[in-house]
Amino acid sequence: MTKHSEQILEHKQSRGVILRLWREWVSVYRSRIALALGLMVIVAATSSAYPALISEVFNRLQNNIYDSLYLVPIAIIFLSAIRAISMYLQVLTVNKLALRVTTDIQKKMASHLIMADLSWLTAEPTGSFISRIMNDLNIVREALVRLANNLVRDILTIIAMVGTMIWFDWLLTILVLAVYPIAMRPIIRIGVAQRKASGNLQEHLEDVTSLLAETIGGARMVKSFQLEDVEKKRTNNAFETLFVKLVTLLAGRAKIDPILEALGGVAVAGVIALASYQVMQGTMQIGDVIGFITALLLLVQPVRALGTLNAVTQEAAAAGRRIFELIDTENKIKDDANATAFNAAKAELSFADVSLSIGEAQLLHNVTFTAEHGKTIALVGPSGAGKTSIINLVPRFVDATSGAIAINGQDIRGVTIDSLRAHIALVSQEAVIFDDTVAANIAFGKSDASRDDIIKAAKDAAAHDFIMSLEQGYDTRLGALGSRLSGGQKQRLAIARALLKNAPILLLDEATSALDAESEKQVQDALETLAEGRTCLIIAHRLATIQNADHIIVLDGGKIIEQGTHKVLMANQGLYARLCALQSVS
C-alpha cells in the first residue's frame, strides 16, 4: 500500500469515527444542540455589529456629523452585554453537552467491561482499560468542546465577518480570502501527523498506567527483594518516553499558529496598502477602512481556532477509534438464540469428552466424569494440571472447545447464562472484597438477604467473631480490596457469601488455602454441612482436607490419569499417593 493510499484510508477511518460519534452519541441531544446553535448565532451576530458601529463613528467624525453620536457607546455596551451573556450560556451548554456525551460513553465502556468475557479481561492489563476510559475520553471531551465552538460558532463568526467585510469593500475581501487557503495544505499534513502521534501517545499511556498499577500493587515484593532502584528506573524510563511523545504532539500543535500568523500579516499588509490607495483616490472613507480592519482583526481568532481544529479532530479520531474498539469487542460467551431459563433445586453435573484450548495451548484433553447430586468431587494434581480450567467451564467463564457439559442432562450452552450462574456459588483462592460494609460484602450475591441470614452465614463460615470485633460490626466499611482484613478473614467472608447464596452447585477453588489451622477446621466443618444435598467440585491444596470426598479425580497435563476414593487411590500407589506422601497424608 502506498503512502497516499494509507493517508486516504486513515482519513476515511477518522471520518467514520467522527460520524459515528455524532450519530450514536451526540445527535440524541437535539434540544441542547439547538440551544447551543441559537446562542452561537447571537454571538456571531453581535460580533459582526462592532465593525459597523466603529465605521459609523469615524465616518461621522470625518464628515463633522455629530447628531446622535453619543448613542454609539451605549449601543456598544448593550451589544457587549448581550454577547457576554450569550457566550457564557453557550460555553456552559457546550461543555455540559460534551460532559454528558463522554459520561454516556464511559458508562457504556464500563458496562461492556463488566459484561465482557473473563478470558479477554484477564488477557489484557488492567491499565489498558483504565487508560481508554479515562485518558482517551478526556481527548474526545476536549475535541467535542472545540468542535462545537470552532466548527459552528467560529464558522458563523467568520461568515458574519466576511459578510461585513464585503459590505465595506469587496476587493479588499477577495484579497484576504485569497491568502488564507494557502495554509490549508500544511495544516492538513500536520493533522495527519497528529493523529499518528496521538495514537502512539495513548498506547504508551496504557503501558504507563499498567506499570504504575504493577509497581504500587507489588510494593511488598519490590521492597522484600530490594528492587526499588529497578522499579525507579522502569518508571523513569516510562515517563521520559511519555515526555518525548507529549512534546512531539505539542510541537505539531505549535506549528499551526505561526503559519496563520505569517499569512495574517501578509493579509493585513495587503489590506493596508490597497485601502490606503483607495482612500487617496477618494473611493473609500477612513471609517470604512477602520471598520474593515476591525472586522479583519476579529476574523483572525476564529480562523486560528479552525486551523488548530484539524489537529484536535485527528487526535480525537485516534482516541475514538480505540474507544470503539473496546465497545465493539463481542463476547464469545453469550446466550444461544434458543436458550431457556434453568431452574432446579438439585444438580447432577457431567463432563463428556471435554477438551479446552486457548490459543495454541491445550488445557484439557477429553475429560469425562459425573458429579452426582449431593456428591463431593475433589480435583487434585500438580500446578497447571487443568483443575481451575474445569472449575471455569462450569459457570461458562470459558466454553469447551469440544465435548459437552450438562446439568441434569441439559447442555449448559442451552440455558441462559444468568440462570446457570444463579445455581452456582464460587469461592476462589483469591477472595474479592469490595469497599463496602461487611454485611454488603456477604450479601453480594443475594441483595435481598435479611440481617439474620447474613449473620447465620457468617457464623457458619467462622467469621462472626472477628466481625463483631470490628468498630461497627457488620456495618464496618472494609476499604479498597478489603484492606482492613487479613487474608484469612477475607476468605471467610467469601465463604460466608457462598453459604448465603445457597446454590445447588458449589465450586471451591482452594477455598481454605488462606486460613490458619483453627479457622480451617471450623470452615471445613461448615463446608461439610453445606455440601449435604449439593453437588460440589473442590480444588484442594491441602490433600488432608479432601480425604472424605466421595470421588477424587487426579489430573496431570490436562488429562485424568486416575480417579477413585482416597483409599483406592492410596492403594494404587500412583500420582495421588506420591502427592499425599509429600504432605505426609496417609
Q: Does the model's pTM come out above 0.75?
A: no
Residue 584 inside a domain? The answer is: no
* CA atoms of 378 and 552, how far apart (whole Å): 5
Residues 31, 169, single domain; the answer is yes
| Total number of domains constituting the chain | 2
Q: What is the CATH number of the domain that holds 456?
A: 3.40.50.300
In this structure, are 322 and 433 located in the same domain? no
Same domain, 144 and 32: yes
Nearest to 152 by CA among 308, 20, 37: 37
Q: Is residue 526 assigned to a domain? A: no
Residues 454 and 322 in one domain: no
pLDDT of residue 365: 92
The answer on 94 and 240 residing in a single domain is yes
Q: What CATH number does residue 94 fall under? A: 1.20.1560.10
In this structure, are residues 573 and 582 in contact, taking their beta carbons and an 8 Å threshold? no
Last-in-domain residue among 502, 525, 552? 502
Task: Take residue 128 and report the three cell numbers written for it.
Answer: 489498558
Query: Is 538 a member of any domain?
Result: no
Quick check: 382 and 554 in contact, CB under 8 A?
no
Are residues 465 and 321 part of one domain? no
Q: Can you give the pLDDT at residue 240? A: 78
Report CA-CA distances (Å) from 579 to 323, 332, 376, 536.
48, 37, 20, 22
Query: How far is residue 576's CA from residue 391's CA, in Å, rounded to a whole number?
Result: 20
Domain co-membership, 77 together with 204: yes
Residue 586 lies in a domain: no
* Secondary structure class of 255 (helix, strand, coil): coil
Helix (H, G, I), strand (E, B) or coil at 571: helix
**Virtual CA dihedral for 240, 243, 244, 245, nearest 10 degrees?**
120
Alpha carbon distance 405, 34 (integer Å): 56
Residues 324 and 433 occupy one common structural domain = no
Residues 28 and 169 in one domain: yes
d(CA 259, CA 254): 9
For residue 442, give the nearest of 421, 463, 428, 465 by alpha carbon: 463
Residue 386: count other Cβ atoms within 10 Å of its Cβ. 21
Domain boundary among 483, 502, 521: 502
- According to the model, what pLDDT value does residue 501 have? 83
Amino acid sitting at position 195: R
Grid cell, residue 231, equals 522499579
CA distances from 475 to 455, 467, 472, 495 (A): 12, 9, 5, 18
Cα–Cα distance, 15 to 318 (Å, whole number): 11
Q: Which of 328, 348, 369 is the last residue of a domain?
A: 328
Q: Please state, in angstroms and rounded to a whole number, the distance separating the CA atoms of residues 94 and 116.
A: 33
Angle, CA of 120, 123 and 128, to the nearest 5°: 90
- One pLDDT digit (tens) per residue for the chain, 586 residues: 555 555 555 556 667 888 888 888 888 888 888 998 888 888 878 877 766 666 666 666 666 666 666 676 777 778 888 888 888 888 888 888 888 888 888 888 888 888 888 777 777 777 777 778 777 888 888 888 877 777 777 777 778 777 877 777 777 777 666 666 665 565 556 555 655 665 666 666 667 766 666 666 666 566 655 667 777 777 777 777 777 776 776 666 566 556 665 666 666 666 666 666 666 766 667 666 666 777 777 777 777 677 667 677 777 887 888 888 888 888 888 888 888 888 888 888 999 999 998 877 888 999 999 988 888 899 998 888 888 889 889 988 888 999 999 999 889 898 898 888 888 888 887 777 777 888 888 888 777 888 888 888 888 877 888 888 888 888 888 777 777 787 778 888 888 888 888 888 888 887 666 566 666 676 677 677 667 778 889 888 778 778 888 899 999 888 999 998 888 888 888 888 888 888 777 6
Torsion sign across C-alpha atoms 216, 202, 116, 143 = positive
Residue 353: what pLDDT?
92
pLDDT at 561: 92
pLDDT in the model for residue 317: 81
Q: Does the residue 223 lie in any domain? A: yes
Same domain, 133 and 268: yes
Question: How far is it, in rounded angstroms, from Cα 472 to Cα 426?
Answer: 27
Q: Report the C-alpha gap between 424 and 407 in whole angstroms.
A: 11
What is the spatial distance between Cα 499 and Cα 459, in angstroms, rounded to a whole number? 10
- Is residue 356 one of the residues assigned to a domain? no
Kindly state whether residues 445 and 314 are assigned to the same domain. no
Assigned domain for 2 exists:
no
Cβ atoms within 10 Å, residue 448: 6
- Beta strands (DSSP E) in 117-204 are none
Distance CA 171, CA 220 (A): 74
pLDDT of residue 197: 64
pLDDT computed for residue 210 by the predictor: 66
Same domain flag for 58 and 205:
yes
Q: Within the chain, how many helices (H) and strands (E) appear?
A: 22, 10
Residue 61 belongs to domain spanning: 11-328
Whether 571 maps to a domain, the answer reads no
Closest CA to 496 of 526, 525, 473: 526
Residues with Cβ within 8 Å of residue 20, at least 6 apart in sequence: 320, 324
